[in-house]
Amino acid sequence: MFKLSIVVPCYNEEEVLHETTRELSQILQGLIDDEKIASTSKIVYVDDGSHDKTWQLIDQFTVENKFVTGVKLSRNFGHQGALLAGVTTASRDSDAIVTIDADLQDDVNAIPKMVDEYLKGAEVVYGVRNNRDTDTAFKRNTAETFYKIMGFLGVKLVPDSADFRLMSQRACEILLSYHETNLFLRGIVPLVGLKTAKVYYARKERFAGESKYPLRKMLKFAIDGITSFSIVPIKMIMGLGFFIVLISIFLLIYTLVQKSNGHVVSGWSSMMVSIWALGGVQLICISVIGEYVGKIFSEVKQRPRFTIEKDTYTEEK
Ligand code: UDP
Ligand code: MG
């Protein structure tokens, strides 16, 4: 029988942890009773530098609940960093890992289905939501646009799958061999390859508390996703450049013709407009390039993607 670890990133999640622990323990116990997973299976909470009682709760559950272990990061590293810390720690001795958000938006009842797919030989099992009814219209639309842009840029993503998935130990190892600092797991997991499967589930409302992804973080996440996987935006600048040069040639010819016909070109407005317009276009283009230069800057430094302060998962062994 195999050891399953459920990795749960938590950032200020004191309101949901009781319920999350209850539901996840129930799922694990059920799977153990069905003799599908080993009794050493664990829940691995990753405290991503929370400011509330999250770590105290995790610490308390570690004592009270035989499934719970915790990894405490030294500060807030973000959702992706926290996931990576959990996967790195747990994949050392787990045969398979499920990653799930702490807020119970992802249906825990999909976990046994993922396990079944794993037992049938899949090494990456995606949790795919079959509705977005519980998201706000804004979130739904922005997410849809994002997946469309990514598709247009040629990045392979599994639509409507977030960071709820099961990965075999081998898949985790491959995942961890991607060393990029700007981590966009959703984009890297499909690059792992191996046999995959999908499990559909209905995404629910957040159990309690509020989203830890405000608009600012969501935008950064989207820009990171695009610029770490595609250089099409830079290439598009070249197309834009040619287009503008073409227009300016037409304008030049037009002005010369006007002049030779003796028309005085009263050009102040058009001059002003084109100076401002071109200036704007140039600034945008430079900022796109800057985004990539920034990526290179942060990649070459090879800073750690997370640092662990405490790790009761490994201690326990
Ligand atoms: N999270 C984290 N670090 C962060 C932000 C979020 O570990 O800096 C965790 C959070 O605790 C939750 C998961 O990432 O378990 C997803 O966050 P959230 O539910 O707030 O995002 P949403 O579902 O609104 O997109
Ligand atoms: Mg959520």
ipTM, two decimals? 0.93
**Beta strand residue intervals within the chain, DSSP E:** 4-10, 42-47, 68-73, 96-99, 124-129, 161-168, 196-201, 308-311
Query: Which atom of ligand 1 approaches the CA of 9 most closely?
Result: 7
pLDDT at position 152 is 82
Q: Is the dihedral of CA 74, 310, 52, 81 positive or negative?
A: positive
229: Cβ contacts below 8 Å, ≥ 6 apart: 150, 153, 155, 184, 187
State the distance from the centre of ligand 1 to the C-alpha of 13, rounded, in angstroms: 9
The span from the CA of 49 to the CA of 30, in Å, is 31
pTM beyond 0.90: no
Whole-number pLDDT of residue 222 = 83
Per-residue pLDDT at 302: 84
- Say which ligand is closest to the CA of 138: 1
Cβ atoms of residues 55 and 11 within 8 Å: no
- Torsional sign, CA 28, 34, 36, 41: positive
pLDDT attached to residue 264: 65
Q: Quick one: DSSP state of residue 77?
A: -
Distances (CA, A) of 234 to 155, 228, 247, 292: 15, 12, 21, 9
Ligand 1: residue of 79, 106, 129, 308 to mutate (most ligand atoms within 8 A of CB) is 79
Please give the order of strands across the beta sheet that includes 4-10.
196-201, 124-129, 161-168, 96-99, 4-10, 42-47, 68-73, 308-311
User: Could you tell me if the CB of 7 is within 6 A of ligand 1?
Assistant: no
Antiparallel, parallel or unpaired: β 42-47 and 96-99: unpaired
User: What is the position in ligand 1's atom list of the atom closest to the CA of 77?
Assistant: 8
Task: Kindly tell me the sign of the dihedral angle through the C-alpha atoms of 203, 185, 77, 138.
Answer: negative
State the Cα–Cα distance between residues 117 and 176, nearest whole angstrom: 22
Give the pLDDT of the chain (317 residues) as one tens digit per residue: 889 999 999 999 988 999 999 999 999 999 999 888 988 999 999 999 999 999 999 999 999 988 999 999 999 998 999 999 999 999 988 999 999 999 888 889 999 999 999 999 999 999 998 876 777 788 788 888 888 888 888 777 887 788 899 999 999 999 999 988 877 888 889 888 888 999 898 887 777 777 777 778 888 888 888 888 888 888 888 788 888 888 888 888 887 888 788 776 677 667 777 887 788 778 888 888 888 888 888 888 888 999 999 888 887 76
7 Cα: distance to centroid of ligand 2 (angstroms): 15
Within 10 A of 73 (CB to CB), how many other CB atoms are there?
A: 25
Sign, CA torsion 191/226/149/289: negative
Q: Is the CB of 13 under 6 A from ligand 1?
A: yes
- For residue 191, the model assigns a pLDDT of 87
Q: Is 212 helix (H, G, I), strand (E, B) or coil?
A: coil
With beta carbons less than 8 A apart as the criterion, state whether 68 and 45 touch: yes
**Predicted pLDDT at 153:** 80
d(CA 168, CA 124): 7
Is residue 45 lining ligand 1, measured as CB closer than 6 Å?
Answer: no
DSSP label of 305: S
